[in-house]
Amino acid sequence: MFKTGIGFDIHKFKKGRKFIIGGIEIPYEKGLVGHSDGDVLIHAISDAILGALGKPDIGYYFPDTDPKLKGIESKKILKKVIEFLKEDEYEIANIDNVIICEKPKILPFSDLIKESLSKILGVEKEKIGIKGKTTEGIDKYRDFCACISIVSIFKK
C-alpha cells in the first residue's frame, strides 16, 4: 500500500542566526527565525511524512509554546517522525522538495543537503529530490525561505 503526504513551511530571515537547511549550515549573512533552528526543509518533510501517516502536524508533537523545545535542532524532530514511520511499518519510497528563496542559491548545496537527509532518514540519496527556486522578483522583500515537500511511503 502506497500513501502520499505533502508538507509546507516558511520562515523569515534575520541577521544573527545560522541558516540551517536539511540539517546543514549554509554560509549566509542571515538565518531563519523560528522556535527551533528554523529548518524549513526538515519541517516540511516531517509534515509530509506525518500527513502520509494520517497523523497531526509537527506543531502537535513539538509545540512552539513549549520552552523546553526552544532552539531544538530540527534533525531531532525528523528523527522522531521517522520513529512514527517505523512504528506504523512504513518505508520511504521517495521525497521531492522545492526550496524557495532568493538568496542564497540552493543548487551548489543540493548534494550536501541530500547526504545529510539520507543519513537522517536512513534512505538512499537517489530517493531524495532537491530543487531551489526563486520568486522571480515577485516578492519585493525577498527575505524568507519556504519549502514544499511531498513524500511517498509504502507498507513493508
- The pLDDT score that the predictor gives to residue 38 is 92
> Is the pLDDT reported for residue 141 higher than 80?
no
Cβ(131)–Cβ(97) below 8 Å: yes
- The pLDDT score that the predictor gives to residue 154 is 97
Topology classification of domain 2-155: 60s Ribosomal Protein L30; Chain: A; (3.30.1330)
Q: Read off the pLDDT of each residue in 98-127 and give the average, rounded to a whole number.
A: 95
Q: How many Cα atoms occupy the beta-carbon half-sphere of 28 within 13 Å?
A: 25
- The pLDDT score that the predictor gives to residue 11 is 94
Q: Read off the pLDDT of each residue in 103-117 and give the average, rounded to a whole number.
A: 95
Cβ(3)–Cβ(55) below 8 Å: no
Mean residue pLDDT across the chain? 93
Q: Cell 536539511 identifies what position?
A: 22
Q: Read off the pLDDT of each residue in 76-103 and give the average, rounded to a whole number.
A: 96
Q: How many Cα atoms occupy the beta-carbon half-sphere of 10 within 13 Å?
A: 6
Q: How does DSSP classify residue 62?
A: S
Q: Read off the pLDDT of each residue in 4-9 and give the average, rounded to a whole number.
A: 98
Instruction: Read off the pTM.
Output: 0.95
Tell me the percentage of the chain whose pLDDT exceeds 90. Answer: 83
Cβ(137)–Cβ(112) below 8 Å: no
Sign, Cα dihedral of 1, 83, 100, 24: negative
